[in-house]
């Protein structure tokens, strides 16, 4: 079932969903199943599976020259999503990104997903790193990626002059940033880019993690004010280590409130850190659920213990 249809079917209910990482190459798929298993009792509406583009590995050859080797540390999402769907009978949402993915590779991936019966996708620009393999004709912006998928939904494929009899039917999710995407010059420009993604065919929005609900509520209101009417799902992440006090702001460009920061800094051990992070996320979740958000989406980083405890307190 499409994500958007799940919201329409449950208009007065806040659903539960999670995001997981594909296992590193060499790890077993059962390792990922063990992460998901404790969360199935909460009936996730869907499970997002992240995508990781090829990176360049620089290796010195016997003749002394440096060789560039394309390397993907985690397998693609098509097989992982199919395995999760088969194992748990749950909707899976593979990520597709612009970075390191040509338009032709995007189309091939979409056909593979379509033939697997996967109806939902999340489209992202992707992180730009210096060591990524760059394709000459990759999309620059997520709005262009959304447009390509919407074209396929209308039977228009690359390098074909006429509409095809086959039409895909993907439900398209995109990312939103309550604290502004770090590349956008200002918040209003970022909102205009988000509106463009919706106008190009996006069906719903999942936000970047945030730690103050006011930022989410303000973000939703600003979206509504400029005509964005699709469902906006809050994304939440329980902090479980002191290292994340610096890692999360630097990697995801989010603020952590003074009250939470001070409490975490005073924690004497990892157990106390996890408890503080969990309780903060529970309070966020309860307030958001009372406000009637369509779904609470948890970034698990492939760790389920704390998210399961949060879910028990909220759902």
> What is the DSSP annotation of 247-302?
HHHHHH-----HHHHHHHHH--SHHHHHHHHHHHHHHHHHHHHHTT-SEEEEE-TT
- Whether 19 is catalytic: yes
Alpha carbons 134 and 220: distance in angstroms, whole number: 34
Q: Minimal CA–CA distance to 22: which of 66, 104, 77? A: 77
Number of separate helices (H) and strands (E) present in the chain: 11, 10
Q: Which own/partner contact pairs does 291-295 have at CB distance under 8 Å and 24+ positions apart?
A: 291/217, 292/12, 292/14, 293/14, 293/232, 293/233, 293/234, 294/7, 294/14, 294/15, 294/204, 294/231, 294/232, 294/233, 295/7, 295/14, 295/15, 295/16, 295/17, 295/45, 295/231, 295/233, 295/234
CA dist., res. 156 & res. 159, Å (int): 9
Q: How far apart are CA 29 and CA 80, in angstroms?
A: 8
- How far apart CA 92 and CA 115 sit, in angstroms, is 14
Segment holding 144, helix H or strand E? helix 142-153
| Neighbour tally for 141: CB within 10 Å | 15
Which residue among the candidates 19, 138, 179, 274 is catalytic per the annotation? 19
Residues with a catalytic annotation lie at 19
């Amino acid at each position: 079932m499409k994500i958007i249809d799940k919201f329409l079917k449950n208009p007065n209910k806040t659903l539960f969903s999670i995001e997981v990482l594909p296992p590193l190459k060499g790890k077993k798929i059962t390792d990922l199943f063990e992460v998901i298993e404790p969360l199935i009792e909460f009936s996730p509406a869907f499970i997002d599976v992240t995508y990781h583009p090829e990176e360049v590995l620089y290796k010195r050859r016997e003749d002394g020259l440096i060789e560039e080797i394309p390397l993907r540390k985690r397998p693609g999402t098509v097989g992982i999503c199919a395995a999760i769907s088969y194992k748990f009978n749950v909707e899976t949402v593979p990520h597709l990104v612009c970075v390191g993915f040509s338009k032709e590779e995007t189309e091939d991936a979409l056909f593979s997903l379509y033939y697997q019966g996967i109806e939902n996708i999340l489209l992202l620009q992707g992180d730009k790193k210096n060591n990524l393999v760059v394709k000459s004709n990759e999309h620059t912006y997520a709005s262009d990626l959304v447009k390509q998928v919407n074209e396929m939904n209308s039977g228009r494929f690359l390098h074909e002059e006429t509409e095809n009899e086959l039409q895909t039917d993907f439900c398209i999710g995109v990312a939103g940033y309550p604290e502004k995407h770090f590349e956008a010059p200002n918040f209003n420009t970022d909102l205009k880019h988000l509106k463009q993604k919706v106008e190009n065919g996006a069906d719903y929005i999942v936000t970047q993690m945030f730690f103050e609900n006011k930022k989410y509520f303000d973000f939703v209101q600003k979206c509504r004010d400029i005509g964005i009417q699709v469902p906006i799902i809050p994304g939440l992440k329980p902090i479980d280590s002191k290292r994340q006090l610096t890692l999360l702001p630097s990697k995801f460009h989010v603020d952590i409130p003074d009250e939470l920061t001070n409490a975490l800094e005073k924690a004497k051990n990892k157990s106390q850190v996890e408890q503080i992070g969990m309780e903060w996320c529970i309070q966020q979740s309860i307030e958001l659920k009372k406000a009637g958000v369509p779904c609470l989406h948890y970034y698990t980083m492939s760790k389920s213990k704390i998210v399961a405890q949060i879910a028990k307190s909220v759902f």
